[in-house]
């Protein structure tokens, strides 16, 4: 087994944070890949600090290493200083566990969580010494596989990735490993054809994109037996997969540096802008007893003093109050373990829950109204009233919190200037609530530019132009002037525009991504490296228009780049929900109503009514739709007045 350690060690003294590249974390698996196993290199296309906490990667890491036919090691994107040293010394991308060259693995598997990391994907393939374009690879090269939320529109990376996995990966990685072991003697093209028959697996080379007059008109199979529509994979019983059992404990400070336990997967809240909520349906809860066991064993093994109960809306977990109280009041924890709930409805953040959480430590609080007015929140189906928000903020300040963060979006469908001004009005009122309890109370309003995502009701919406987003930021700045205790932050409109291009692009956008990468455009998700000029040059070279690719509305009859891929949602459901949004109609959580027939539960053996059987207080529409997130990583690509 080849190790590059003797070549790597001299480089570490010349780079920042050398601990990023040495492995050996508590929870990591020692390298033990014999020739009979399929060797997976799990890659996160961002730095160690961002990638190590990723739960999807950690789950697959453990599952693959528990199997007898596979093994897995990890790698993250080296920072620019380390990359320069590696290229100068001729050192290729390597694994952390065994410092093995990436090209010696059978599979290079990427987690795709953010579109602006796509140039990093190409860079890591190149650093591995593997041809960047899939059609230039031969049998001697590893397969390049990708999954994650961004895989639900994989077309911009179709020329570079051999295989995409849609949906939950727990079961399918075992099926892929078994097939790869059995197919070692098969040619690359034959193997890819076989992989395309695995449910949830999309092989771009087995499909062709058809264009007429510069518009995509179809993406269709090129080979017999290839499904015309690839359906996502769904793990029906989350309790059967209690991972990660051995969460990695990092060597340097990372984002979300705490014990993370997933309490359920999916969401029925129906926020129309939220891709994660749409593509992870239906909701599947982890048994409460299993949550308690994972927390207890995880704390004992890792030594963490903070637990995050993760999901898209953690307050919807059955018995959340008992779970939180059980952790905080556990005598074995000696009152030293704090709990954060990264996703919690505003109406669920009561005085009693605030009092329970702050017994140990007041973690940061982020409430996400998303829209500045009730009208706007009806459009996006984030049906929380101002009273809900003010009650939650009041509860936080009353229990001793002095800082609260609010998260909003601008550029939403049908948005008016009054809706934008409403953002500052809400924030100002929250400051006033805080000042009743603490003279130094501070509210931070963070504003992101809305990017329509694939497989959501807003996938047909024409994104705001860069100039329009800048104008709306100007309105916010003017409104916020002189508001003592209010800090305004915003996402870079230039980066928002590029994210929109990649989020809904077709295969032609791959040439744009490659052009930016070859021009040195890596780490585009980092403000100090983002370069809009590179994207402008690449768009011109590819003959593509920002207006056509990003800013225009799509009609219902238009073929979308991801129409041959299914997140389990009926297309007509998404279109009807888009029309409801334009009509300013909100829809109640489907747990309290007759089924909307979105398609998510069809054929999965999952009950329609899930999670807590008790509807929000008063049972009224418009209550309890907000998410509250524990403070974590500072928002990147953010400006300030």
Q: HEC states along 384-425?
A: CCHHHHHHHHHHHHHCCCCEEEEEEEECCCCCCHHHHHHHHH
pLDDT band with cut points at 50, 70 and 90 for residue 35: confident
Q: What is the predicted pLDDT for the residue at 345?
A: 65
Distance CA 396, CA 354 (A): 6
Alpha helices in 67-187, H assignment, sequence order: 80-89, 118-127, 172-182
Distances (CA, A) of 490 to 33, 125, 267, 448, 527: 46, 33, 27, 6, 12
pLDDT band with cut points at 50, 70 and 90 for residue 589: confident
What percent of the chain has a predicted confidence (pLDDT) above 90? 80
CATH topology for 258-508+544-639?
A: pyruvate-formate lyase- activating enzyme (3.80.30)
β-pairing, 365-370 vs 338-340, is: unpaired
Q: What is the mean pLDDT of residues 178-198?
A: 95
| Half-sphere exposure (Cβ direction) of 97: Cα atoms closer than 13 Å | 23
Q: At what angle do helices 288-302 and 320-328 cross, to 10 degrees?
A: 30
Q: Over the chain, what is the mean pLDDT? A: 90
Q: What is the pLDDT of residues 530-552, one digit of tens each?
A: 999 999 999 999 999 999 999 99
Q: What is the pLDDT of residues 291-345, one digit of tens each?
A: 999 999 999 999 999 999 999 988 788 878 889 888 888 877 666 888 887 765 6
Q: What is the predicted pLDDT for the residue at 329?
A: 85
β-pairing, 264-265 vs 284-285, is: antiparallel
With a cut of 80, say whether residue 347 has pLDDT above it. Answer: no
Q: What is the pLDDT of residues 108-138, one digit of tens each?
A: 999 999 999 999 999 999 999 999 999 999 9
- How many Cβ atoms are within 10 Å of 184's Cβ, its own excluded? 11
Distance CA 413, CA 361 (A): 39
Q: What is the predicted pLDDT for the residue at 614?
A: 44
Distance CA 200, CA 229 (A): 10
Higher-confidence residue of 617 and 330: namely: 330
pTM of the model: 0.93
Q: What is the predicted pLDDT for the residue at 361?
A: 59
Higher-confidence residue of 467 and 315: namely: 467
Q: What is the predicted pLDDT for the residue at 365?
A: 79
With a cut of 70, say whether residue 168 has pLDDT above it. Answer: yes
- Do 383 and 621 touch, CB atoms closer than 8 A? yes
Nearest by Cα to 590 from 609, 571, 562: 609
Q: What is the mean pLDDT of residues 461-466?
A: 98
Residues 6+ apart with CB under 8 A from 66: none
What's the maximum distance between 2 C-alpha atoms anywhere in the chain?
Answer: 72
Q: What is the pLDDT of residues 401-441, one digit of tens each?
A: 899 999 999 999 999 999 999 999 999 999 999 999 999 99
Domain with CATH 3.80.30.20 in the chain: 258-508+544-639
- Do 36 and 149 touch, CB atoms closer than 8 A? no
């Amino acid at each position: 087994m080849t190790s590059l350690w003797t070549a790597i060690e001299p480089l570490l003294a010349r780079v920042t944070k050398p601990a990023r590249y040495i492995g050996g974390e508590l929870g990591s698996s020692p390298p033990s890949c014999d020739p009979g196993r399929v060797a997976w290199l799990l890659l996160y296309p961002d730095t160690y600090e961002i990638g190590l906490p990723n739960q999807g990667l950690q789950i697959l890491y453990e599952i693959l290493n528990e199997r007898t036919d596979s093994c897995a090691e990890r790698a993250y994107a080296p920072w620019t200083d380390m990359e320069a040293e590696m290229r100068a010394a001729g050192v290729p991308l390597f694994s952390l566990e065994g410092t093995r060259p990436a090209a010696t693995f059978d599979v290079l598997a990427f987690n795709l969580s953010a579109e602006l990391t796509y140039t990093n994907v190409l860079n890591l393939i190149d650093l591995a010494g593997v041809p960047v374009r899939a059609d230039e690879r031969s049998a001697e090269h590893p397969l390049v596989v990708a999954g994650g939320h961004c895989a639900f529109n994989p077309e911009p990376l179709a020329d570079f990735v051999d295989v995409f996995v849609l949906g939950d990966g727990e079961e399918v990685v075992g099926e892929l490993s078994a097939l790869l072991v059995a197919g070692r003697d098969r040619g690359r093209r034959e193997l890819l054809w076989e992989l395309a028959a695995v449910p949830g697996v999309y092989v771009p080379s087995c499909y062709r994109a058809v264009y007429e007059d510069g518009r995509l008109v179809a993406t269709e199979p090129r080979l017999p037996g290839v499904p015309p529509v690839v359906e996502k994979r769904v793990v029906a019983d989350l309790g059967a997969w209690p991972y990660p059992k051995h969460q990695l404990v990092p060597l340097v400070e990372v984002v979300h540096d705490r014990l993370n336990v997933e309490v359920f997967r999916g969401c029925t809240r129906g926020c129309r802008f939220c891709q994660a909520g749409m593509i992870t349906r239906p909701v599947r809860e982890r048994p409460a007893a299993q949550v308690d066991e994972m927390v207890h064993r995880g704390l004992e093994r890792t030594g963490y003093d903070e637990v995050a109960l993760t999901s898209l809306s953690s307050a919807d977990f059955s018995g959340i109050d008992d779970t939180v109280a059980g952790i905080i009041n556990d005598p074995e924890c000696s009152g030293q373990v704090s709990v954060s709930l990264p996703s919690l409805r505003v109406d669920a953040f009561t005085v009693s829950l605030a009092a329970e959480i702050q017994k140990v430590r007041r973690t940061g609080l982020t409430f996400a109204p998303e829209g500045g007015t009730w009208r706007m929140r009806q459009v996006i189906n984030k049906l929380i009233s101002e009273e809900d928000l003010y009650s939650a903020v009041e509860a936080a300040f009353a229990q001793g919190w002095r800082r609260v963060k609010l998260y909003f979006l601008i550029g939403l469908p049908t948005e008016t200037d009054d809706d934008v001004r409403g953002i500052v009005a809400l924030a100002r009122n929250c400051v006033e609530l805080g000042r009743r309890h603490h003279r130094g109370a501070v509210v931070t309003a963070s504003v992101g530019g809305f990017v329509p995502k694939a497989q959501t009701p807003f996938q047909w919406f024409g994104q705001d132009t860069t100039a329009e987003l800048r104008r709306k930021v100007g309105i916010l700045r003017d409104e916020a002037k002189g508001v003592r205790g209010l800090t305004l932050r915003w996402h870079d409109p230039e980066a928002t525009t590029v994210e929109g291009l990649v989020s809904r692009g077709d295969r032609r956008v791959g040439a744009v991504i490659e052009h930016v990468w070859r021009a040195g455009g890596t780490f585009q998700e980092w403000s100090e490296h983002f370069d809009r000029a590179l994207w402008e040059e690449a768009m011109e070279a590819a003959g593509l228009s920002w207006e056509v690719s990003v800013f225009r509305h799509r009609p219902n009859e238009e073929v979308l780049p991801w129409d041959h891929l299914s997140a389990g949602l009926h297309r007509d459901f998404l279109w009807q929900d888009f029309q409801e949004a334009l009509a300013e109609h909100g829809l109640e959580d489907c747990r309290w109503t007759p089924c909307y027939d979105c398609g998510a539960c069809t054929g999965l053996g999952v009950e329609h009514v899930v999670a807590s059987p008790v509807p929000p207080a008063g049972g009224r529409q418009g209550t309890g739709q907000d998410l509250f997130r524990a403070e974590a990583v500072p928002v990147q690509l953010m400006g300030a007045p």
